[in-house]
Amino acid sequence: MSNLRVTLICATGPSLSALADPAWVTATAKTTGILVRVLAAYAGVAISFETRPCGIGWNTLASIGEVESRHGTIFGGSIAANGSSTPPIFRIPLRGGAAANISDSDRGAINI
């Protein structure tokens, strides 16, 4: 994400979706066709990951979002200005068995 500029925020700052440079988000949304508010969320999460060991990029998150829900718009869905999806997006519980058991590595610290 070397070409993604980060907006500085205070410790009690805004949501993760406000971390990415708005000009970058607007230009990249236009190029990719991803909704601005969705791309801002992907980029914000990726920026927050830059200081964590997993280091997942916005483009990986966007790829997952495309495959899993067409960025929240599958089956006529939409994403509200506050980031909530209509209808809500649910996945199967990841508790092992039919799906891999994936634990919460940050104990719920990441909030979008």
Residue 94, in any domain of the structure: no
Residue 112, in any domain of the structure: no
Domain extent at residue 22: 1-75
Domains in the chain: how many in total? 1
Residue 22, in any domain of the structure: yes
Instruction: Enter the tokens of residue 103.
Output: 């634990």
Residue 9: per-residue pLDDT: 34
Residue 55: per-residue pLDDT: 73
Residue 96, in any domain of the structure: no
Residue 1: per-residue pLDDT: 37
Residue 110, in any domain of the structure: no
Confidence (pTM): 0.66
Residue 97, in any domain of the structure: no
Q: How far is CA 92 from the centre of its chain?
A: 19
pLDDT average per 10 residues of sequence, the chain (112 residues): 36 69 96 94 86 79 90 89 80 65 72 55
